[in-house]
Amino acid sequence: MGEPTMGDRLTPSRRQLLVGAAAGLTCAALPQVASAKAPMANTQAPGFYRFKVGAFEATVVSDGPLRLGEPSGDVFTGVSKEQMTKELDDNFLPTDNVQLEQNVLVINTGDRVVLFDTGVGTAKAFGPDSGRLIASLKAASVDPKDVDAIVLTHAHPDHCWGLMADDGNRNFPNGQIYMAQADLDFWTDEGKLADAQLKDFIAGTRKHLLPNRDRMVFVRDGQEFLPGIQAMAAPGHTVGHTVYVITSQGKTLCNAGDIAHHHTMVVENPRREFVFDTDGKQAVASRLRVFDMLASQRVAAVTYHFPWPGLGHIGKQGERFHYFPTPLRTVL
């Protein structure tokens, strides 16, 4: 007996399809009373996902997606609109709107609740669906008042504009803020308010960072500034962009921030620079270094803008990398 041919393999499923179609006809002919009805739920599952890192409890909470809109040329250097559309389509991704998630990591060490980045707050520059962090935290039973530490990867709007509420109160009233001083200095610099490209970012970021100046601690490259949480400078996307390595009982997770903005277009072409990079070439060098570390040490990462919840591994394949999302578990 040889290998079954393609035709043999298709036969049973084709038969099932036909049976299914016939069954559909029968159902349609039944009286209306036989079909059960329920209103459409019209809501998504709560925006949190939980897992363990050694003795630490990790929870990813969503601030909701950012819409970048239709593909356009030069979002990534040297990539035309046509090329971007093709790559999205090849990966079965929508070609009418490039969507980036906002995956905010919460680590409960047992002693402290540590929040990594804060989402974009109430700003709606990237569509109506963002600004969900506080609701997602509540759904995850994390009280914003219990947040002891807010660790910023960098000072872009989608990472720090959730610090202050519109009424001027702090969203995390008991949180000490950890960040690189270079990013505070750059993104609150009054002198850049005259720069047409930067002025909106600078003006907004001043409102969120300057009122918190007295509760900031600056992190240094390589420093373990909280037990089990180490800073690793990864500059380029911003001058002070930092990733964080979280370790408990021999288990390690990296909070990779904006080391890459897309799980296919950038991971598989890691030398592409992004339109919002302060120094694209430096961002590429940092990305290659962090990706090499993640791949060679097989360390899982939460990456802020990757598909929800952004948890996965980076594998190296020749000169390229590939993103392997971690299978989600239904049991903690």
Which residues sit at the interface with Zn ion, rule CB under 5 A?
Answer: 158, 258
Task: Report in angstroms the alpha-carbon separations of 126 from 95, 209, 277.
Answer: 17, 21, 17
183 in Cβ contact with 154 (< 8 Å): yes
SS3 105: strand
Amino acid at 248: S
Residues sharing a CB contact under 8 Å with residue 30, sequence separation 6 or more, in sequence order: none
The smaller minimum CB distance to Zn ion, of residues 18 and 275, is found at 275
Q: Which is nearer to Zn ion, 54 or 127 (CB)?
A: 127
Closest approach of Cβ 242 to Zn ion, in Å?
13
- N residues, the chain: 332
Q: How far is the CB of 7 from Zn ion (least distance, A)?
A: 50
Please report how close the Cβ of residue 291 comes to Zn ion at its closest, in angstroms: 17
Taking the least distance from each CB to Zn ion, the nearer of 247 and 263 is 263
By C-beta, is 49 or 274 nearer to Zn ion? 274
To Zn ion, the closest distance from the beta carbon of 158 in angstroms equals 4
List 66's β-bridge partners, or say none: 100
Tokens at residue 310, please?
Answer: 């952004």
* Beta carbon of residue 141, minimum distance to Zn ion (angstroms, whole number): 26
Query: Measured from the CB atom, is 161 or 172 closer to Zn ion?
Result: 161
Query: Please, which residues have CB within 8 angstroms of residue 26's CB and are 6 or more apart in sequence?
Result: none
Other Cβ atoms within 10 Å of 16 Cβ, number: 10
Position 136, amino acid: S
